[in-house]
């Protein structure tokens, strides 16, 4: 498969089209991003690494980081994490309070805000230095030390994070948050502020395309755990547009309101796309278009 040629053809097709959508202006720091930025990078099992556009420019990965915190919790605690959250698509907005009451404080899945907050609580209870340990875990996966939280973005999110504060306290009222909500939320806001490039992101997620192993053959997750993370990304990774992504693209993946998308084809590749303008569901407009064209032209999806 000539991925380089396919990516170049699609990039040239998508880049000039009308860039529909809006920036995530409800987070003040994200409202300042150049909306015309557009990058893509692929990392394949067959050692093809190729990028286009702004693929070496850092951006806020936002909810994509929820996959990484989940992987670290899964690695340390195994199946016990599923006692505190579910694995079903939510069908509601990513910050819904209604569903939590129906489900007695058990988040529907780890990728909605409530689920990621519970994972943050799990890591705080399980690790000595959760922020540092998570960062080191991420750096070890990408073999890149130039990755960090953004204090500016974390502060920006915290300044408007009233719904997340409500979610955390609501879950606490059901006994599914064990630590101080302020400590949990501080970790959660830092988690969402992580900044990476498309190149770093595709290399970082390579292990999920390689049965849980890095390029250096380090086993991060078991093959079964890797399969389950990919399954969750497939069914829950795009808010309430996950079905649409499965239908049109046919890959496991996760999006973030910073305009990034990571997509996985097990045993083939990890591909990262970044374009900041979001559609009505909160996913990158050009990113979604790009990946649909990519699996159509390559005739490769997980189905």
Binding site, by residue number, is: 63, 113, 157, 164, 188, 239, 257
- Beta strands at 195-196 and 252-255: parallel, antiparallel or unpaired: unpaired
Binding residues for substrate: 63, 113, 157, 164, 188, 239, 257
């Amino acid at each position: 498969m000539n991925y380089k040629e396919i990516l170049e053809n699609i990039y040239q097709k998508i880049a000039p089209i009308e860039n529909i959508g809006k920036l995530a202006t409800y987070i003040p720091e994200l409202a300042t991003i150049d909306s015309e930025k557009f990058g893509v990078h692929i990392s394949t099992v067959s050692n093809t690494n190729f990028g286009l556009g702004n693929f070496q420019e850092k951006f806020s990965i936002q909810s994509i980081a929820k996959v990484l915190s989940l992987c670290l919790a899964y690695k340390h605690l195994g199946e016990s994490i599923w006692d505190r959250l579910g694995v079903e698509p939510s069908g509601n907005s990513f910050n819904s309070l209604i569903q939590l009451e129906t489900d007695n404080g058990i988040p529907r899945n780890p990728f909605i805000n409530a689920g990621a907050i519970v994972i943050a609580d799990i890591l705080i209870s399980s690790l000595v230095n959760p922020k540092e340990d998570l960062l080191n875990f991420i750096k070890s996966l990408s073999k890149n030390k130039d990755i960090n939280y953004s204090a500016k973005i974390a502060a920006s999110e915290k300044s408007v994070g009233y719904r997340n504060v409500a979610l955390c306290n609501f879950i606490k009222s059901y006994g599914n948050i064990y630590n101080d909500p302020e400590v949990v939320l501080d970790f959660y806001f830092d988690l969402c502020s992580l900044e990476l490039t498309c190149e770093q992101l595709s290399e970082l997620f390579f292990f999920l395309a390689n049965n849980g192993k890095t390029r250096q053959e380090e086993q991060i997750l078991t093959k079964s755990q890797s399969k389950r993370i990919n399954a969750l990304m497939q069914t829950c990774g795009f808010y309430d547009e996950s079905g649409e992504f499965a239908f049109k693209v046919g890959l496991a993946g996760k999006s973030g309101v910073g305009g990034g998308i990571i997509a996985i084809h097990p045993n083939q590749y990890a591909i990262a796309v970044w374009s900041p303008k979001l559609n009505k569901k909160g996913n990158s407009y050009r990113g979604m278009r790009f990946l649909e064209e990519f699996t159509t032209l390559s005739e490769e999806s997980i189905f």
